A and B are shown apart, each in its own frame.
Chain A
Amino acid sequence: MPLVWPALTVLVYVCSKRLYARTRKLYLTPLVVTPAVVISALLLSGSSYDAFDRGAHWIGEMIGPATISLAVTLHKHLHVLKKHARAIAAGVTAGGLAAVAVSAGLARLFGLAAPIMDSLAPKSATTPVALSVSGALGGVPTITAVATLATGLTGMIVGPLLVRWMRIRSSVGRGILLGTAAHAAGIAKAFEYGADAGACAGIAMVCTAFVTLFAAAPVMSLFQ
């Protein structure tokens, strides 16, 4: 019955998306509800992750096409990028460098082993980039995958609070804040502030990917 798991995943996702649209309660976001229900179902039925993965791996593989579709977002909102080039360059460069340095610094502070530190360093970048940077640094890509996801989730929850507390009023500032730190999950959140914030988040995510690709190794060499 390889279709049970993807069917359950999509069904729970669609329901929780409707529920979230109606209530706007953060703990009801599909990124929390769907894995929680699926994991519970896996554990309760005594099924293995492999059984789930055999049926549902293609859902995860759609991250590739979805990343590519951001080319359309970039193309449609190029005027936003041109208009706010300065703000985006400043926010993404500062945020992208801070992401690697702060993650590694905190990991060391908390006494985590070096491979875990390397796995956590690129976690603000989009998943495919984070995975390849992690591998190049000597991290464990599977840990990076989960950490990157947890970062996206954290960003969706903490981002709106920080926007309120720090009084980030411009849609550019909001988009940069979410897209730089929390990749695609941040973009999804930014679109709730409007198309401009979403576009800025998309641009910020792509630029952060490049900052991480080129700056992760030099920044990490400071932690040797």
Chain B
Amino acid sequence: MKTNQIVKIALQVGFFTAWSRASEMAAEALRSPIPGSILGLLALFALLELKIVKLSWIELGADWLVAQMLLFFVPATVGIVRYKPLIVQSGAEILATILLSTAIVMSVAGLAGERAGKARRGKAAS
């Protein structure tokens, strides 16, 4: 990667970080039931659609953040070490709930989406 590209990514990630802080503060000030990060996402999306913020200004930084998403979840995962008593007491039940419900939700969402998509395509073809 070229140096000026790294600088661009760093600056754009800085922009997203500042935007995130600002939306957290706005959500708190407005006592919004919707979390700051979702408000910030919607506000930035609106500015992109209105072409007030240009895609080229922030695209590299956004691609980098999305690509490194898994890294940002690591600290919370490591946080599991604080829950030893809960894990010992009901870990198996919690794990079973998570495994089963995730598989069921995926099946429901995937099948509903695929069916609705196919119905639409079928109609368009006829």
CB distance from A178 to the nearest CB of B (A): 7
Contact at B110–A177, with CB atoms within 8 Å? Answer: yes
Contact at A60–B76, with CB atoms within 8 Å? Answer: yes
- Cα distance A149–B42 in the bound complex, in angstroms: 23
Q: Check A170/B107 contact, CB under 8 A, given A39-B78, A67-B38, A69-B65.
A: no
CB distance from A149 to the nearest CB of B (A): 5
- Cα distance A162–B107 in the bound complex, in angstroms: 7
CB of A139 within 8 Å of the partner chain: no
Contact at A86–B120, with CB atoms within 8 Å? Answer: yes
Residues 97-112 of B contacting A (Cβ, < 8 Å): 97-112
Contact at B105–A180, with CB atoms within 8 Å? Answer: yes
> Which residues of chain A are near B55, meaning CB under 8 Å?
72, 75-76
Residues 30-68 of B contacting A (Cβ, < 8 Å): 33-38, 40-42, 44-45, 48-49, 55, 58-59, 61-63, 65-66, 68
Q: Check A31/B78 contact, CB under 8 A, given A67-B38, A151-B102, A163-B110.
A: no
- Cα distance A42–B82 in the bound complex, in angstroms: 12
Contact at B66–A87, with CB atoms within 8 Å? Answer: no
CB of A114 within 8 Å of the partner chain: no
Q: How many residues of A contact B (CB 8 A)?
A: 108
Q: How many residues of B contact A (CB 8 A)?
A: 75
> Which residues of chain A are near B3, meaning CB under 8 Å?
none
Chain B, interface SS category? helix
Residues 83-101 of A contacting B (Cβ, < 8 Å): 84, 86-96, 98-99
Contact at A128–B37, with CB atoms within 8 Å? Answer: yes
- Cα distance A72–B104 in the bound complex, in angstroms: 30
> Which residues of chain A are near B58, meaning CB under 8 Å?
69, 72
- Give per-residue flags for B88-126: 1 if the beta carbon is below 8 A from chain A beta carbons, else 0: 001001111111111111111111111111111000000
> Which residues of chain A are near B106, meaning CB under 8 Å?
95, 155, 158-159, 162, 177-178, 180-182
CB distance from B72 to the nearest CB of A (A): 4
Residues 21-37 of A contacting B (Cβ, < 8 Å): 29-31, 34-35
> Which residues of chain B are near A91, meaning CB under 8 Å?
109-110, 112-114, 116
Q: Check A62/B90 contact, CB under 8 A, given A94-B109, A98-B104, A162-B110.
A: no
Choose one: A35, A127, A129, A166; the contact of B107 (CB below 8 Å). Answer: A166
- Give per-residue flags for A145-178: 1 if the beta carbon is below 8 A from chain B beta carbons, else 0: 1110111111100110011001011101110111
Choose one: A90, A111, A136; the contact of B113 (CB below 8 Å). Answer: A90
- Report 27 cross-chain contacts, Cβ distance below 8 Å, ordered by A residue: A35-B78, A53-B79, A56-B74, A59-B71, A60-B74, A60-B75, A65-B17, A66-B16, A66-B68, A72-B48, A72-B59, A87-B117, A91-B116, A95-B110, A98-B109, A102-B104, A127-B76, A142-B79, A154-B98, A162-B110, A168-B111, A172-B113, A173-B111, A176-B109, A181-B106, A185-B73, A187-B66
5 A-B pairs with the lowest CB-CB distances in the bound complex, closest first: A95-B109, A91-B113, A177-B110, A173-B114, A176-B113
